[in-house]
Amino acid sequence: MGLLDFFKRIEPDKKKSPLLHTAYDAFFTFAYSPDSTTQGGVHVRDGMDLKRTMIHVVLAMQLCYIFGTYNIGHQHFDAMGMYPGFLEGFHLKLSHGLIKLLPIFIWTHVVGLGIEFWFAYKKGHAVEEGFLVSGALIPLIMPPDIPIWILCVSVAFAVVIGKEAFGGTGMNIWNVALLCRVFVFFAYPTTISGDNVWVSGFADAAGTMSLNPGSVTDYSWWHTGLFNGLFEWMGLDTFKPGAVMDGYSGATPLALAYQGGWENVTNTFSQNQLWWGTIPGSIGETSKPLILLGAAFLLLTRIASWRIMFSMLLGAICMSMLLNLWGATPFMEVPWYFQFYLGSFFFAMAFMATDPVTAASTNTGKWVYGFLIGFIGMIVRVLNPAYPEGWMLAILFLNTFAALIDHYVLESNMKKRLASA
């Protein structure tokens, strides 16, 4: 209790220092639950406030963060033909991943939380908790070499236009993290699409990010100064200048599938690589088993809706089977069960579609909402040559209609009750 008493003693005056009090309140309520509870035996009391609900979602992503950080380094050295074993050069791969991921994580939170603190201060409210999840999701859905200034602009757009303009946490109609990604996709498409963006740490003679054969390593002081000094002292291998080897493309499995179907994918990647995620892609979206472990955690703690997850899976399977029957292109012929080896379906299912604010709220509505995301997302993935992945657009589209779905479900329920009255 001594620490709690200390925090209460240093609480700033809300009227004299509103901005300081806003910051204090954010950190205090993050560490401690409110000391006021509902009284009376007829009321439901629960120790889970909104911050702790959000923290459960963040905890479910931690395996994706660990694996994604390491995979950034693994793909970097794979492009040079060095340390081909997944655990070879462990310290170098992990260090390179941290150098790339930490600035993305830090700047996402500096910009996003900075905007939320400012809006809370201007409204005289406590800091809302919604950005805990959005701030954790955004780094995982970005390429590792995204320019920081583009990241900052996209985060600001998503928080201000997609959230605060609607009234803040619990009022937004679109998923904030997906809105951030879709802004980058349409405003700066070359930074988040194509073959050059998914493997980090290389630049051409002009200093532009590139994976062309001969592009050289673009190491910073963190590589050659801090970490090399530490590794030399420990007697370990150090970062050395290198170049992209001949024949390396950096293409993702989805791009390969669109060009030549499943056979083209397996000519480059094994099924084990596809399933475990040792492939180029967004930072946290590649390892299917670790994502599914996070999904299981959310289901066991009842944070996420199993109806949305299961119906989204059904929708994707149904559409994929229909495309298999059509079979007009090599991508359509990819067996439905192998579609889940490609892209970010499981990540979208576990962490994006289940967002309770932007998803349908009624039980029947959740079935419709999830099924349509899977169904429409598979259409976009397979039939859209400009964007061989569909979950981002499908989820934002169904976010828009989630309230309408609930409206018709409630209307139907009321008509049935009136008819039987």
Q: Where are the domains of the chain?
A: 8-29+50-245, 305-421
Residue of higher predicted confidence among 118 and 324: 324
Answer whether residue 400 shows pLDDT above 90.
yes
| Stated length of the chain | 421
In which band, very low, low, confident or very high, does the pLDDT at 55 lie, cut at 50, 70 and 90?
A: confident
Cross-strand bridge partners of residue 216: 203, 243
Whether 223 has a pLDDT exceeding 50, the answer reads yes
User: For residue 190, what are its two tokens?
Assistant: 């070359």
Predicted local confidence at residue 11, as pLDDT: 65
Burial of 384-396, coded b for 16+ CB within 10 Å and e otherwise, reads eeeebbbbbbbbb
Which pair of tokens denotes residue 291?
């994502």
The amino acid occupying position 173 is I
**What is the C-alpha separation between 321 and 332, in angstroms, rounded?**
9
Average pLDDT over residues 301-316: 96
Distances (CA, A) of 114 to 15, 25, 127, 135, 200: 21, 14, 10, 12, 28
Quote the pLDDT of residue 41. 46
Quote the DSSP letter at residue 243: B
Taking residues 280-297, what's their average pLDDT?
Answer: 96
Residue 172 DSSP SS3? coil
Tell me the sheet residues that pair with 203.
209, 216
Report pLDDT digits (tens) over 132-147.
899 999 999 999 999 9
Q: How many other CB atoms are found less than 10 A from the CB of residue 400? A: 12
* Comparison of pLDDT for 348 and 119, the residue scoring more: 348
C-alpha span between 248 and 148 (Å, rounded): 26
Task: Report the distance separating Cα 278 and Cα 257, nearest Å.
Answer: 17
What is the number of helices (H) and of strands (E) in the chain? 17, 2
Confidence of residue 42 (pLDDT cuts 50, 70, 90): very low
Q: Is the pLDDT of residue 44 over 60?
A: no
257: CB partners within 8 A, 6+ apart: 264, 265, 330, 331, 334, 342, 388
Q: How far apart are the first and last CA of the chain?
A: 56
Question: What amino acid is encoded at 235 in this protein?
Answer: G
CB atoms within 10 A of CB 418: 8
Q: How confident is the model at residue 43 (pLDDT cuts 50, 70, 90)?
A: very low
> CB atoms < 10 A from the CB of 220, how many?
13
pLDDT at site 28: 60
Beta partners for residue 202, in sequence order: 217
The amino acid at 301: T
Q: State residue 194's pLDDT score.
A: 80
